Amino acid sequence: MAEVYVSSVIAAPAGAVWLAVRDFNALPAWAPFVAESRIEQNMRPDQVGCIRSFRLKDGGRIRERLLALSDFDMSCTYSILESPMGVENYIATLALIPITDGNATLATWKASFDAPPEREDGLVRDIGQNVFQAAFTALKSRFGR
């Protein structure tokens, strides 16, 4: 099983960052690689079990299911149902932790998945840099720091 972990400090209060990322359908607003997103079956975007279907700017389509959402912990966990990446058993968690010194946020994003052994290293690198870190970098810019 492959694992990815990325963390970043965002110079904004955790509550403000959480408002930006909490909506499971809001990826196009803060993830630079997402072109459009919709929640299937008219479910609420914060309802555990809802499925988001989104299109990447490169044309790829991904479907993900929200497995957990906690306003108290400022975290969400989701699984990939369909993806052009060729991963299986993909589970990821995005979490925010308040940093009291400077009123900033420690953002963490981790994932585990199965993939053919010869593709694991490349997928870990790609997901870590081109997905998780790219999204964190965009959030830093969004909050002006």
Question: For residue 24, what is the domain's CATH number?
Answer: 3.30.530.20
Task: List the structure tokens of 74.
Answer: 């400022």
* Cα-based distances in Å from 138 to 10, 25, 31: 10, 17, 7
pLDDT of residue 54: 95
pLDDT of residue 136: 96
pLDDT of residue 37: 96
Contact 104, 10 (CB under 8 A): yes
Domains of the chain: total: 1
Tens of pLDDT along the chain (145 residues) come to 999 999 999 999 999 999 999 999 999 999 999 999 999 999 999 999 999 999 999 999 999 999 999 999 999 999 999 999 889 999 999 999 999 998 999 999 999 999 999 999 999 999 999 999 999 999 999 997 6
Helices 14-21, 134-142: axis angle to 10 degrees equals 120
Nearest to 14 by CA among 137, 131, 101, 135: 101
Q: Look up the domain containing 69 and give its range.
A: 2-142
Nearest to 44 by CA among 74, 12, 22, 59: 22
Secondary structure (DSSP) of 100-135:
TTTTEEEEEEEEEEE--HHHHHHHHHHIIIIIIIHH
pLDDT of residue 145: 60
